[in-house]
Structure 1
Amino acid sequence: MLKKLFSYLIPINIYKSKSAVSKSIEVTWTNGELLIDSENTNYSYGSLQRILRIGLRKIGFNTIQSMENILVLGVAGGSVIKTLVDEIKFKGQITGVEIDPAIIEVANSYFQLNEIPNLEIHIQDAFDFILRSKDHYSLIIIDVFQDLQMPNFLFETFFINHTASLLKKNGFILFNTMILNEGDNVRNKNFITNFDNTNFKINSIPRIERHNELILIQRIK
């Protein structure tokens, strides 16, 4: 409790480790919030939780409550899962995919992710999971980063088409992206052109927390 109170004055680091995937993982009390950070950016909770909450509100909490199953690509510390369970009161099945086992250990230790009964975690590359999945989802959340980098496969047509094929009718993809330069801006615009207006409805929410853009895709047919 003292660390939480003092964190309103200065950030207080309580855990730090190395990871082969994420390189650096830190758990820090900042302004009364417990955050997970990588070397250069917020990985879970804090600003990231606020960013994805905006996208979830755009879909509608009542709409999400009525869904059967949700896929989260890029679990990290599980902040979006906590929003789904604790704030939205989602009772359906949540499937989480995370490539870094070290960050799941941190999420379990500091945020009790392993105590969520309707959550199943797969330690797996998101690309491989999508290619092998036979299930269909009401909502797919894509939040895959390696520090400040987004893997190229996220924007490749092959991956995009496979991900879209796993959406149920009226289902959503909520894609969190980072825009650091004009090239990233062009990349996002090219990504959106993969979805035709006949089958999908697209909405982008730019410049959230300065560098993030959310892309919201709904399958309408």
Structure 2
Amino acid sequence: MIKKIFSYLIPIKIYETKSSLSKSIEVTWTNGELVLDSENANYSYGSLQRILRLGLKNIGYEKIVPMNHVLVLGVAGGSVIKTLVDEIKYKGKITGVEIDPEIIKIANTYFKLDEVKNLEIVIDDAFEFVLKTKAKYDLIIIDIFQDTTMPNFLFETFFINRVCSLLKSRGFILFNTMLLNDSQNLRNKKYVSEFFKNEFQIKTIPRVEVHNELIVIEKLN
């Protein structure tokens, strides 16, 4: 409790480790809440939770509550899962895919992710999982970063088409992206303008928490 109180004055790091996939993973008390950070980016809770919460609000909580199955690609500490369960009161199935088992251990220890009853965690590469899964989803949340870098496959035609094929009718994709330079701005513009045709409705929410842009895609039929 003392650390939580002092964190309003200065961030207090309580755990730090490295994994084979992440340079640095830190758990820190910041402004009275526990957050999970990489070396240069917020991975869960803090600003990331605010970003994805805004995307979910844009879709509409009333649309999310009756959904049957949500897929989260990139779990980290699980803040978007906690938003779904604790704030939106979503009771359907959640499948979370995370490539780094060390991060899931931290999420279970510090953020009690393993107490979420309607959650199944799969340790796998998101690209591989999307190729293998036979399920259909009402909502697919894509939040995949290696520190501040987004893997190239997220913007490749094959991956995009495969993810879209997993969506049910009237389903949504919520894609969190980071824009740090002009080439990434152009990358997002191309993504929005070239990959989604008549059967999809797409909108962007730019400059969320300065460097993030949310892309919300709805499958119309």
TM range (shorter): over 0.9
Match of 2:70 in 1: 70
Q: How does 1:121-132 map to 2 (within 5 A)?
A: 121-132=121-132
Note if 1:89 corresponds to 2:89: yes
Question: What do the CA deviations read for 1:117-137 (whole angstroms, capped 9, x no partner)?
Answer: 100000000000001111100
3-state DSSP of counterpart to 1:134: coil
Question: How many angstroms apart in 2 are the aligned matches of 1:27 and 1:155?
Answer: 30
Does 2:213 match 1:210?
A: no
User: In the comparison of the two structures, how many residue pairs are matched?
Assistant: 220
Q: CA offset at residue 32 of structure 1?
A: 0.3
Whole-angstrom distance in 2 between the partners of 1:208 and 1:168 = 27
* Unmatched tracts of structure 1, length 5 or more: none
Q: CA deviation at 1:189?
A: 1.1
Separation in 1, partners of 2:154, 2:104: 21
Give the aligned residue type for 1:130. Answer: V
Secondary structure, in 3 states, of the residue corresponding to 2:18?
A: strand
User: Alignment partner of 2:168: what SS?
Assistant: strand
Instruction: Tell me which residue corresponds to 1:19.
Output: 19
SS at match of 1:23: coil
Q: Residue 20 of structure 1: CA displacement?
A: 1.1
Q: Using the TM superposition, give the Cα deviation of residue 5 of structure 1 relative to its aligned residue in structure 2, in angstroms.
A: 0.2
Q: Which residue of 2 aligns with 1:79?
A: 79
Return the alpha-carbon distance in structure 2 between the equivalents of residues 23 and 136 of structure 1.
34
For 1:16 and 1:38, how far apart are their aligned partners in 2? 10
Q: Which amino acid aligns with 1:97?
A: V
The runs of at least 4 aligned residues of structure 1 exceeding 6 Å deviation read none
Distance in 2 separating the partners of 1:20 and 1:89: 35
- Listed one character per residue, the Cα deviations across residues 77-130 of structure 1 (whole Å, up to 9, x for unaligned) are 000000000000000000000000000000000011011110000000000000
In 2: Cα distance, 1:102 partner to 1:3 partner: 24
CA RMSD of aligned residues (A): 0.5
Q: Which runs of 5+ in 2 are unaligned?
A: none
Which residue is 1:49 aligned to?
49
Shift of 1:34: 0.4
Partner SS, residue 169 of structure 2: strand
Distance 1:25 1:128 in 2: 24
Amino acid at match of 1:27: V
SS in 1 for 2:24: strand
Provide the rounded CA distance (Å) in 1 between the counterparts of 2:21 and 2:82.
23
Structure 2: how far apart are the matches of 1:66 and 1:171?
A: 12
Instruction: Give the letter for the 2:176 counterpart.
Output: N
Match of 2:116 in 1: 116
Task: Establish whether residue 180 from structure 1 lines up as the match of residue 180 from structure 2.
Answer: yes
Q: Name the CA distance, whole Å, in 2 between partners of 1:9 and 1:55.
A: 29
Amino acid in structure 2 at the alignment position of 1:100: D
The normalised TM-score by structure 2 is: 0.99
